[in-house]
Chains A and B, each alone.
Chain A
Amino acid sequence: MTAGEERGTVGLVTPEGVPLEFHLADPGERLHAFIVDSGLIVLGCVVSLLLIGARADLGVLSMLAVFFFRQCYFFTFELVWNGSTPGKRSAGIRVVSRYGGPLTVEALLARNLMRDLEIFVPLVVILHPGLFLGGGSPWLVYPAFAWVFLVAGLPLFTRDRVRAGDILGGTLVVRVPEGVLPEDPAASSGDSGFQFERRHLEIYGEKELEVLAGILRSLKEKEHLRRDLTLLAGTIARKIGYDGREPTSNPSAFLEAFYSAQRKHLEERLLFGRRKASKEDKEGETS
């Protein structure tokens, strides 16, 4: 595993050796998933108790059913659905192995056998403190009390938002990635008559290029931006010292042509190993 570039992301290395970045599920999403799943567990318990419980001679079945739902629900779903449960599915998150490979039975057992300690024990402590506090001498009970809540609160303190089960299982809970490929703004620029020279393209860097790409992509949805484009085109033209055809005559064509030329230029520089991160980046400047 490599560290994520920013907080809230995590880099996993695929078996092919390519690092992929995932967004970690945030506590709200995990809570959502957990509430849905616990609702289903309670429902399952209630239904099986109603079906069986009426008959005293079948009491053992209801006991086993409750045990099964409590201990096996998460494990079984995560095993069969490869890291997903109905609750996780509805929250758009899933379990992955920290080491990039497939989820193993061992990892899923470890992460789910810890649940009892993380959820039921704190719940008992909260709802019925006497059961816990009355059970031993204070020098043993108070550290245990603190420890229980430390363990239960792990997802809030740890960098990768892992709970104790994730630590022992070597797993992470990530958001299921969903990507859409937007139109390439460089594709739409035709021969608009705007020509750029090298000196025009030495000013801006990658950061400005991405901002411009964002603006050009959002143009299609936001008509009201058009008025600001004239201003933007004028500013850029001034900054790069553009002296060709009047940019404000057709600002969007100017911006598209500039974007295309700027990207081509930066990519060519990159082929020679010269990266320009932003306009402030003077490193590797060529005359």
Chain B
Amino acid sequence: MTGRPWETKPWSLGFRREREALWRQLARIVARAEKRRGRLDAGEAVRLPSLYRVVLSSLSVARAAAMDRALREYLESLAARAWLLLYCPRRRARGAFREFLLEKFPAAAKGLGFRFGLAVFFFLAGTALAWILTSTSPEWFYAFVDPSLVKGRDPWASREILEKFLYEGGGLNHALATFAGFLFTHNAQVGILAFSAGIAAGVPAAYLLFTNGLVMGSFLSVYSSKGLLLPFLGWILPHGIPEILAMLLCAAAGLEIGRALLFPGRRTRRDSLVSAGRRGAVVAAGSILLFAWAGLMEGIFRQVVTGDLFRFLAAGVNAGILALWAYNARGKAE
């Protein structure tokens, strides 16, 4: 093995020398963009994809043929940094919210399928059970309803007390906004937990629906026994329609996670959890908007408007808006 010195050089040295300038060019662009959190100027944006592919191809060649670990590691980290920069979606802010509200959210909600039906079933089962039991024997009331929620509205309360509760309103004042804000943030937190606690096989979501159903059924029984069913519905429906829908959606998303955990089907459990989690997260985030709407209805509208007619009108409008929203999203399921 005699000969000129260049013949004793490994092949990968020449490989590196021919391409190193391009690699360093990419490294400079990446380093500059990282400092500016991903922003690129026009020239860089043009060169980034082609330089990225140069480095990826160099990496593949180096992996296959170069006996130089430092070189392979450098190319690998450079390719990874460029990849992080390149596959960073350039999102347009305008239209994103509209798209979320009118396409992604309804599509994800439809994707819940029978889990939504199951959620409705758990809620109605609790409602029916509590209604029947409390109607037959009022002692059941305190088994279902937390004393802090009662505020005098138990089966032994007089019709006047019950009625007064439905129509007391302080008119418009600042405290109402605070009340609405409280209702919104509290309900939204509960909704988010109903979704996320789905990781416990969906049990907490089912439990939440059932116990909320019990409370609802107990109060329905109390008011209907005094002949106040219609005024009670007028009191609860304007905010109840968006709020109960949001709760059902969040809990159905939690049930979906439980389903993915227990019965992943043909996919791996991990992939199944990811698709349930992503879909459920969209549903839960969308439900936050419904909770905000419900908070306004409950915290302000209900306190200000005390006429049954207007209350039912508002409930009808809310139901109509939701129906239009669902109709608009038909055929957009995943």
Q: If A63-B185, A104-B278 touch, does A210 touch B37 (CB 8 Å cutoff)?
A: no
A232 contacts the other chain (CB 8 A): no
Interface: B280 (CB within 8 A): yes
Residues of A within 8 A of B87 (CB): 14-15, 100-102
**B78 nearest in chain A by CB position:** A179
Is the beta-carbon distance between A181 and B192 smaller than 8 angstroms? no
B178 interfacial by beta-carbon distance below 8 Å: yes
Given contacts A103-B89, A191-B5, contact A96 B13 (CB under 8 A): no
Residue of B nearest to A205 (CB): B67
Are the CB atoms of A151 and B12 closer together than 8 Å?
no
Give 1 or 0 for each of A52-82: 1 = CB within 8 Å of chain B CB. Answer: 0000110111011011000100000001011
User: Does A170 make an interface contact (CB < 8 A)?
Assistant: yes
- Nearest-neighbor residue (CB-CB) of A63 within chain B: B181
Interchain CB contact (< 8 A) of A271 among B65, B71, B77, B276: B65
Other-chain contact of A144, B12, B20, B56, B204 (Cβ < 8 Å): B204
Which parts of A114-132 form the interface with B (CB within 8 Å)? 114, 116-118, 121
Cβ B199 vs Cβ A267 within 8 A:
no
A228 to chain B, nearest CB (A): 21
State the majority secondary structure of interface residues on B. Answer: helix
Given contacts A60-B177, A168-B276, A191-B5, contact A106 B281 (CB under 8 A): yes
B81 to chain A: which residues have CB within 8 Å?
Answer: 176-179
Q: How large is the interface on A (under 10, 10 to 19, 20 to 34, 35 or more residues)?
A: 35 or more
Taking CB as reference atom, which chain A residue is nearest B211?
A136
B149 close to A (CB within 8 Å): no
Is A168 touching B274 in the complex (CB atoms < 8 A)?
yes
* Cross-chain contact B5 with A190 (CB below 8 angstroms): yes
If the complex has contacts A176-B81, A198-B1, are A116 and B12 also in contact, measured as CB distance less than 8 A? Answer: no
Cβ-defined contact, B67 with A209, below 8 A: yes
Q: Is the CB of B89 within 8 A of A184?
A: no
Q: Give bound CA distance, A62 to B181, whole Å.
A: 9
Determine whether A180 belongs to the interface, using a CB cutoff of 8 Å to chain B: yes
Query: Which of B16, B64, B282 touches A106 (beta carbons < 8 Å)?
Result: B282
CB pair B273 A213 closer than 8 Å: no
A233 interfacial contact with B, CB 8 Å: no
Give Cα A179 to B71, complex, Å.
10
The answer to whether A113 and B65 touch (CB under 8 A), given A57-B174, A170-B278, A181-B70, is no
B189 touching A116 by the CB < 8 A rule? yes
Minimum CB–CB distance from B202 to chain A (whole Å) comes to 12
Asked if residues A56 and B274 are in contact (CB atoms below 8 Å), the reply is no
B192 touches A71 (CB 8 A): yes
Within 8 Å of chain B (Cβ to Cβ): is A231? Answer: no
A177 touches B278 (CB 8 A): no
User: What residue in chain B is nearest A147 (Cβ atoms)?
Assistant: B200
Interface string of B152-190 (1 = CB under 8 A from A): 000000000000000000000010011011101100110
Instruction: Let me know if A51 is at the binding interface, CB within 8 A.
Output: no
Enumerate B1-43 residues with CB–CB distance to A below 8 Å: 1-2, 5, 8-13, 16, 20, 23-24, 34, 37-38
| Cβ–Cβ < 8 Å partners of A79 in chain B | 91
Check if B76 sits within 8 Å of A16, measured CB to CB: no
Partner of A16, one of B56, B189, B193, B281: B56
Q: Given the complex of chains A and B, what is the CA–CA distance between A160 and B292 in angstroms?
A: 37
Q: A104-B278, A169-B281 are in contact. Are A213 and B74 (CB under 8 A)?
A: no
Q: Is the beta-carbon distance between B66 and A267 smaller than 8 angstroms?
A: yes
Chain B hits for A84, CB < 8 A: 37
Residue of A nearest to B269 (CB): A167
Kindly state the separation between the CA atoms of A84 and B11 in the bound complex, as whole angstroms.
Answer: 40
The yes or no answer to B284 lying at the interface (CB within 8 A) is yes
Q: Determine how close the nearest CB of chain B comes to the CB of A244; give it in whole angstroms.
A: 11
Chain B residues, Cβ within 8 Å of A14: 56, 79, 83, 87
Q: How far is the CB of B129 from chain A (nearest CB, A)?
A: 17
A147 to B199, CA, bound (A): 9
Question: Can you give 16 A-B contacts (C-beta < 8 A)?
Answer: A18-B56, A18-B79, A56-B174, A66-B185, A103-B88, A109-B281, A116-B189, A167-B274, A170-B277, A170-B278, A177-B80, A179-B74, A181-B23, A213-B68, A260-B9, A268-B11
14 further contact pairs, Cβ within 8 A, besides A18-B56, A167-B277, A189-B8: A14-B56, A59-B174, A59-B178, A63-B181, A64-B185, A100-B87, A110-B277, A167-B270, A169-B278, A177-B76, A177-B77, A179-B78, A181-B74, A182-B70
3 tightest A-B CB contacts, nearest first: A168-B277, A179-B77, A60-B181
